[in-house]
């Protein structure tokens, strides 16, 4: 049996059994993609990350990221959670020049603080917004089972992962949603996106936006706390001229509706368009994972 060091980490929270759970296989060299996908499907978490030796000289390490059904070029909570796990084990250090290699490219990371107060930020791939008419608003309204504000056209944002971003105006509309998951899955397939993410403005002292993300087509009806979706929202706000009203640095609440209550910090560089997402993480499981060395069947 191949014995792999393994951690399960709650990301975007400082409390165990909150945030978004991530499985991290810390020494995945030698595993094939088919084996990784089988493990991720068995884990049945929103994502599982596999740590590999880097192929670029600038990279500190490399990861591959899998949902239960597919591989992703980039995802935020696996990026933050894997860095947490590697720092905790001493496999990397927190100095300047920390770079993650993934299918979306080389992504810089920043580490603030230490121990339980440590926050890790990853720079998402530069975002691109697709044409406003690429997804009919009425189709989105039907899938979400709600009325969309007339002024806020849903947009597809590509930041390594394709998200359909919907501005619902107010946090109350976000928290009250009860989407038709079959319709969301069908819409996601037609639009070629991983899922639909919605946000609304919160008049709350501890966060600016409330966010939810739905990915039923990828085996994740509602993702607890979603880094790439929040990076997409930051890019959407900048591109649509709405960032000034919120600020270039803001905090997001996500996951309360499913008992996770996570927090993400978003930082938008107005000049470059780069978006960083970050937060705290905490380890829940630390041990080994056993896998047959031969190709999974």
- Taken in order 237, 238, 240, 241, the sign of the CA dihedral is positive
Q: Where are the domains of the chain?
A: 2-124+281-291, 128-273
Nearest one of 97, 106, 94 to 63, comparing CA atoms: 106
Looking at residues 268-287, what average pLDDT do you find?
98
Among candidate residues 47, 101, 222, 276, the one labeled active-site is 47
DSSP-derived 3-state class of residue 23? strand
Domains 2-124+281-291 and 128-273 in one fold:
yes
The DSSP bridge pattern shows strands 249-254 and 207-215 to be: parallel
Q: Which two tokens stand for residue 119?
A: 């926050």
CA distance 185 to 106: 30
- pLDDT, tens digit (0-9, with 9 covering 90-100), for 36-83: 999 999 999 999 999 999 999 999 999 999 999 999 999 999 999 999
Active site residue 47: yes
- pLDDT, tens digit (0-9, with 9 covering 90-100), for 176-204: 999 999 999 999 999 999 999 999 999 87
Question: What pLDDT was estimated at residue 54?
Answer: 98
Which CATH fold would you assign to the domain 2-124+281-291? Diaminopimelate Epimerase; Chain A, domain 1 (3.10.310)
Question: What pLDDT was estimated at residue 132?
Answer: 78
Confidence of residue 294 (pLDDT cuts 50, 70, 90): low
- DSSP lists the bridge partners of residue 141 as none
CA distance 202 to 211: 10
In the chain, what percentage of residues exceed pLDDT 90? 93
Would you say domain 128-273 falls under CATH 3.20.20.140? no
């Amino acid at each position: 049996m191949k014995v792999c060091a393994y951690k399960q980490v709650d990301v975007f929270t400082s409390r165990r059994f909150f945030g978004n759970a991530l499985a991290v296989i810390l020494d995945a060299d030698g595993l094939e993609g088919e084996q990784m996908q089988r493990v991720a499907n068995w884990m049945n978490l929103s994502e599982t990350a596999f740590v590999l030796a880097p192929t670029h000289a600038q990279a500190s390490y490399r990861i591959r990221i899998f949902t239960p059904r597919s591989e992703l070029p980039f995802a935020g909570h696996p990026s933050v959670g894997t860095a947490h796990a590697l720092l905790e084990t001493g496999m990397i250090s927190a100095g300047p020049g920390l770079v993650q290699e993934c299918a979306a490219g080389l992504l810089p990371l920043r580490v603030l603080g230490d121990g339980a107060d440590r926050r890790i930020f990853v720079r998402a791939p530069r975002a691109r917004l697709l044409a406003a008419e690429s997804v009919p608003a009425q189709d989105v309204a039907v899938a979400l089972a709600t009325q969309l504000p007339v002024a806020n056209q849903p947009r597809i944002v590509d930041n390594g992962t394709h998200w359909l971003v919907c501005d619902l105006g107010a946090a109350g509309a976000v928290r009250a949603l009860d989407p038709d998951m079959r319709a969301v899955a069908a819409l996601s397939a037609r639009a070629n996106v991983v899922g639909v993410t919605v946000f609304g403005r919160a008049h709350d002292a501890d966060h600016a936006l409330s966010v939810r993300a739905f990915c039923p087509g990828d085996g994740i009806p509602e993702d607890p706390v979603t880094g790439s979706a929040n990076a997409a929202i930051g890019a959407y706000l900048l591109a649509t001229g709405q960032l000034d009203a919120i600020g270039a640095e803001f905090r997001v609440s996500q996951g309360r509706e499913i008992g996770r209550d996570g927090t993400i910090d978003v930082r938008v560089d107005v000049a470059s368009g780069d978006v960083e997402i970050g937060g705290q993480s905490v380890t829940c499981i630390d041990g080994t994972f056993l896998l047959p060395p031969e190709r999974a069947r």
